Amino acid sequence: IRNVARVGWFSSDRTIRQYAKEIWNVPA
């Protein structure tokens, strides 16, 4: 369960940073 949670969190964090980088051009 912890593994799945960690992977999901990292995936979400990566997606959010990528989204912010592409949309708002925010350095992450």
pLDDT in tens, 1-28: 566 656 666 667 778 788 878 887 766 5
Q: What is the pTM of this model?
A: 0.35
Task: State the pLDDT at residue 6.
Answer: 62
Task: State the pLDDT at residue 8.
Answer: 61
> How many domains, in total, are found in the chain?
1
Please tell me the distance from the alpha carbon of residue 6 to that of residue 22, in angstroms, as a whole number. 24
Task: State the pLDDT at residue 19.
Answer: 80
Secondary structure class of 8 (helix, strand, coil): helix
C-beta of residue 4 within 8 angstroms of C-beta of residue 12:
no
Residue 4 structural domain: 1-28
Element (H, E) at 14: helix 2-23
**Token couple for 14:** 């990566």
Number of neighbours of residue 4 by Cβ within 10 angstroms: 8
